């Protein structure tokens, strides 16, 4: 009997049920139970732990197109957030191959055990190429991922739950992904044989608005000489400006920017009107666009991966970027005092903007990578250069 024959005679211990009623069978891993979310695919070949702890994936079930996931294990250093409550975080993971034993000197825990510890449900044995092709053709579906070791499922109930879930449009998830109180940040990036460091001699006071911020963003701000204070997503303009910041950073995060914007756009607009240098990424980029008068739209399949080429109109260069978003800014709705600075070379969608008359800019992608290439680290220096120029102009 071949391995395929043996697999075909083994009852499925996990199901992925799509909102159209389609059922994908596989082997269960991680936590048991069921969870509903939007099913997306990620094309990155490395960094699955960073992806699985990125708050921007809240409400989503991630399909990895790369088959070998789990082979480097997990550790406590590659976590991008600690705020991954089951109701507000990632909903599940879809794999092609079964998880192998870790083979890396940094591994501290098997991925399967790590998923269990974080209450994340997984399914393996899935034809992820076919699922990815389906998403590219029909758009991101909603679905339910379920794991039952005995192979017993209430299929009709799972179908009903998948069909009834409203999806991410109109859903504010940033509030749940955010910190609930302000706190300082001083940890710098990881160095070989040294680990993480501590910032010293900071030159700029920066307030980072946490819509679901990743740790490596904060580390790169600290590397760049910023004394960082993190504020919740619900912070008011008065709370932000009370810190007398040299700059304000608007972070990544999950959900529909229009929904989060109901309480954040006013804050952003007042910060910008006060002339404070402002830098946004991902969800922060989208909400900055809303604050400046633009619109956002839900994408057909979204951009999720670490190999997305972006053209920077300000330098004439192409950078390979890390992306994770299901909404985008409609560049045609940006006002005359805002220019489009970056575009995706995959589909021409907006990937950056800058104000012509104020020290304000943002990008759609993740310049901190983690995982991904480091082509875009220059943006953190662009931010500090902007703050320095603004301080000098204020002193003149």
Percent of the chain with pLDDT over 70: 96
Burial class (CB in 10 A: 0-12, 13-18, 19+), 146: buried
Question: In angstroms, how far apart are the furthest CA atoms of the chain?
Answer: 82
Q: Is 5 a residue whose pLDDT tops 50?
A: no
Name the band, by pLDDT with cuts 50, 70 and 90, for residue 395.
Answer: confident
* Contact of 165 with 142, CB cutoff 8 Å: yes
Q: Model pTM?
A: 0.95
Q: Is 288 a residue whose pLDDT tops 80?
A: yes
Which neighbouring-strand residues pair with 183? 230
What whole-number distance in Å separates Cα of residue 45 and Cα of residue 35? 25
Residue spans of the domains in the chain: they are: 3-164, 174-395
Q: What angle do CA 119, 121, 126 make, to 5 degrees?
A: 165
Which neighbouring-strand residues pair with 310? 319, 344
Beta strands in 266-330 (DSSP E): 278-281, 295-312, 317-330
Question: Would you please indicate which residues are annotated as catalytic (active-site) residues?
Answer: 282, 366, 368
What whole-number distance in Å separates Cα of residue 189 and Cα of residue 61? 29
Please identify, in words, the CATH class of the domain defined by 174-395: alpha beta
Percent of the chain with pLDDT over 90: 92
Identify the CA nearest to 61 among candidates 86, 36, 81.
Answer: 36
Can you tell me whether residue 38 is helix, strand or coil? strand
Question: Is residue 250 within a helix (H) or strand (E), and if so which, with residue range?
Answer: strand 247-250
Which carries the bigger pLDDT value, residue 8 or residue 153? 153
Enter the tokens of residue 54: 């990125």
Cα torsion 35, 178, 39, 370: sign: negative
According to DSSP, residue 208 is labeled: E
Residue with tokens 């830098």: 279
Matching CATH number, 3-164, of 3.90.230.10, 1.10.1840.10, 3.50.30.20, 3.30.930.10? 3.50.30.20
Domains 3-164 and 174-395 share a fold: no
Enter the tokens of residue 337: 């005092």
Q: What is the pLDDT of residues 220-236, one digit of tens each?
A: 999 999 999 999 999 99
* Contact of 267 with 174, CB cutoff 8 Å: no
Q: Is 274 a residue whose pLDDT tops 80?
A: yes
If you average pLDDT over every residue of the chain, what do you get?
Answer: 94
Q: Is 88 a residue whose pLDDT tops 60?
A: no
Q: For 183, phi and psi rounded to 5 degrees?
A: -160, 150
Q: What is the pLDDT of residues 101-111, one digit of tens each?
A: 999 999 999 99
Q: What is the pLDDT of residues 360-393, one digit of tens each?
A: 999 999 999 999 999 999 999 999 999 999 999 9
What whole-number distance in Å separates Cα of residue 299 and Cα of residue 165? 18
- Rounded mean pLDDT, 42-63: 96
Cα torsion 189, 190, 192, 194: sign: positive
Q: Is 4 a residue whose pLDDT tops 50?
A: no
């Amino acid at each position: 009997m071949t391995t395929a024959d043996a697999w075909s005679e083994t009852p499925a211990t996990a199901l992925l049920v799509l909102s159209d009623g389609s059922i994908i069978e596989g082997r269960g891993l991680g936590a048991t139970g069921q969870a509903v979310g939007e099913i997306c695919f990620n094309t990155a070949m490395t960094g699955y732990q960073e992806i699985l702890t990125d708050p921007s994936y809240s409400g989503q079930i991630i399909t990895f197109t790369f088959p070998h996931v789990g082979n480097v294990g997990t550790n406590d250093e590659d976590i991008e957030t600690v705020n991954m409550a089951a109701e507000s975080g990632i909903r599940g993971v879809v794999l092609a191959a079964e998880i192998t034993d870790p083979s890396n000197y940094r591994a501290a825990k098997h991925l399967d055990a790590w998923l269990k510890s974080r209450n994340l449900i997984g399914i393996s044995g899935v034809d992820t190429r076919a699922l990815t092709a389906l998403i590219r053709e029909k758009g991101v579906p909603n679905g339910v991922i379920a794991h039952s070791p005995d192979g017993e499922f209430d299929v009709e109930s799972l179908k009903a739950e998948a069909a009834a879930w409203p999806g991410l449009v109109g859903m504010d998830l940033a509030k749940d992904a955010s910190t609930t109180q302000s706190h300082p940040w001083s940890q710098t990036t990881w160095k070989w044989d040294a680990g993480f460091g501590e910032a010293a001699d900071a030159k700029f006071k920066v307030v980072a608005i946490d819509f679901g911020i990743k740790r490596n963003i904060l580390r790169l701000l600290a590397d760049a000489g910023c004394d960082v204070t993190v504020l919740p997503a619900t912070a008011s303009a008065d709370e932000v400006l009370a810190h007398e910041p040299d700059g304000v950073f608007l972070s990544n995060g999950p959900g529909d920017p229009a929904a989060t914007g109901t309480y954040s756009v006013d804050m952003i607009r007042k910060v910008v009107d006060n002339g404070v240098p402002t830098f946004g990424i991902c969800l922060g980029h989208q909400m900055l666009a809303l604050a400046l008068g633009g619109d956002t739209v839900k994408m057909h399949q979204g951009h999720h991966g670490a190999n997305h080429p972006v053209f920077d109109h300000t330098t004439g260069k192409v950078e390979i970027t890390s992306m994770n978003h299901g909404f985008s800014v409609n560049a045609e709705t940006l006002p005359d005092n805002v220019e489009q600075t970056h575009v995706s070379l995959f589909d021409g969608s907006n990937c950056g903007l800058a104000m012509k008359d104020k020290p304000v800019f943002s990008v759609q992608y993740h310049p901190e990578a983690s995982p991904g290439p480091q082509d875009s680290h220059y943006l953190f220096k662009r931010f500090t250069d902007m703050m320095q120029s603004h301080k000098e102009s204020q002193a003149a």
